[in-house]
Amino acid sequence: MAHLSLFRSLLLYSTILLPLEAGVVEFFDPNRVNSSDTLQSNFSYLIASDPISLYGMFHDWDGDYHPKSTTNIALQDMRLDIGTKVFEKYYLGYFYRYNVYIKAGKDFTDFFYRVKNHIDLEQNRVHELKLDIEGIKQSGLILSNSQVVFDNGDNNLQVGGAISLTVGHEMQHGSIRGDVEVINEKSYHASGEVSSYYTHNYLYDLKVNQASAYGYGSDIAIAYQNKKHNLSINFIVNDLLSKLYWKDLPYSNVHIETQNKSYDEDGYVNYSPSISGNEVYVDFTQKIEPRYRVEADKNIANGINIQLGTDYLYDEFFPYLQLNKILSDTQHIAISYEHRFHSFGLDYGYKNFLFGMRADELQNTSTFGFRSSFFFHF
């Protein structure tokens, strides 16, 4: 009981205030690692979809359909970090991440939505099938350090870096290119080329051996602070030079056609493609797509701070705005808006705890995220 009492005292009466983090997806920032000895934990999850609500995405596309007029994307971004300070000035931690990014043209999503929901097809129309997917599930150990390289009292420049050793568990890297010719309101003929590296085949039934990979990663962060004007500018790059080396990874280079047709009881075509091409195992080097963040941070009043920035990944910008308010020595809140998916976020921090949620709307939600952080000060 004495140990429990001591832990409760350290936890409840700590005066450390966990900083609120802005941004849309999760970044590892070496400059944000606390300078004293701490045990830190951070978890973040985001799922978002342009063309359809999240309910529809997980219920066979039976949901609110609202595609963009050009390119539609869907992403899933999750990261867990647990670590502590070692050797007085380094951070050593374990991380686990899962990232999926899918990009498709409106022709593809229109056709897919109609077929899934048995909606009559538009006649005399050819749909372009264009889809790209990138996905990774990996874990590893990460070591980081941060140093002040310049400080004259009014101006401060801090540079941080991290290296990691990683294990790859799952991956997707592929594309579909083809077209669909509508025959009548319930029937179509589709043909396309598929080129894909993967650990699981989602297009058709194909059992494959489980592949594994080992690799490395690197991150950098540069933080400038002007104390006179209460202004900070941060630049972060994750996965600057990050690769995974896959051994015996399944690779498909195939042609798909819907020549052999069968129909359901309502007269609609069932998806049963004929496939020709190559299915092989290869050694493959996967370059992890870098992600960038640029952010300006300004104290505009006593206890009020504003952050303006953008994340950049997969050739997409994700601009955001966040307003932070310190309520007391132990509490603060943040309200944020990100423009890419038009979602709002609310974060609340109490001492060494932080919890936040994000959504675009309460009904027909297309974007949802949450994050939580904790650190224990030794």
Across the chain, which has 378 residues, the per-10-residue mean pLDDT values are: 40 48 88 72 95 89 88 96 89 96 93 88 85 96 94 93 97 93 83 92 79 96 93 96 96 85 72 81 95 95 92 95 92 95 95 92 92 83
Helix (H, G, I), strand (E, B) or coil at 103: strand
Tokens of 268: 């609609």
Q: What is the CA radius of gyration of the chain?
A: 24
For residue 271, the model assigns a pLDDT of 67
For the chain, give percent helix, strand, coil, nearest 5: 10, 60, 30
For residue 188, the model assigns a pLDDT of 81
Q: How far apart are CA 194 and CA 248, in angstroms?
A: 19
Residues with Cβ within 8 Å of residue 48, at least 6 apart in sequence: 73, 74, 75, 340, 341, 343, 366, 367, 368, 369
